[in-house]
Chains A and B, each alone.
Chain A
């Protein structure tokens, strides 16, 4: 079974609108971390936001927020007020820290295009 599932290969959003990128995960570890990374066309991996499995509140970082629903095993990224510079590939990732000794798993990514 896939550890991280991103079901949206491509998304379009109008500039200044909000957009939600979906991510579901699968783990039996009691302790894990969830991450989102941005990969612009230049290729580097940029860390956006982190959510720990024991965190009670949803993480926020500026225009980014992570909608964490533990029972549903989902960790959707919400980008508010989209900007042209948000056009990029977005990866959801999970770090298991208990059973599997610190492995990271990445989804297949969502390509976001912001339309002027």
Chain B
């Protein structure tokens, strides 16, 4: 089944404790990206990647890191989480870069930072 898989789905952590949210897609998509969803603000793009070893900042990259060493994986790293990073996070992929194709979303990861 074609899908985008995120883990963990739910996480409660404490300020400053490094964490990684994994994202994997099995559709051979070139484009992958991360979003956070907050009430009243919609979805905001954190980082995106147009192919392996090619990443770029979205609208809200502060406090996050990403890497794209393999085509299928695009982990989101919070080196020192803070309470303002409590949010619902989505990973998404799209077939090709430089194309108007839609995003395929993972199921979301709800993160709480205490």
Q: Which residues of B contact A (CB under 8 A)?
A: 31, 33, 35, 40-45, 48, 50, 56, 58-59, 88, 90, 92, 97-105, 107-108
Interface of A is mostly: strand
Looking at B42, B44, B56, B58, the one whose CB has the most chain A CB atoms below 10 A away is: B42
The 8 nearest A-B residue pairs measured at CB: A33-B100, A45-B105, A106-B43, A108-B42, A106-B42, A47-B102, A52-B100, A109-B42
Q: Find out whether the CB atom of B103 lies under 8 angstroms from the CB atom of A104.
A: yes
Q: Find out whether the CB atom of A101 lies under 8 angstroms from the CB atom of B45.
A: no
Q: How many residues of A contact B (CB 8 A)?
A: 27
State in angstroms the CA–CA spacing of A38 and B75 once bound together. Answer: 25
* Nearest chain A CB to B12 CB, angstrom units: 17
Q: Which residues of A contact B (CB under 8 A)?
A: 4, 6, 31-33, 35, 37, 43-45, 47, 50, 52-53, 91, 93, 95, 97, 101-109
Q: Find out whether the CB atom of B108 lies under 8 angstroms from the CB atom of A106.
A: no
Q: Find out whether the CB atom of B45 lies under 8 angstroms from the CB atom of A97.
A: no
Contacts A44-B108, A108-B42 given; does A103 touch B58 at CB 8 Å: yes
* Nearest chain A CB to B4 CB, angstrom units: 10
State in angstroms the CA–CA spacing of A32 and B99 once bound together. Answer: 9
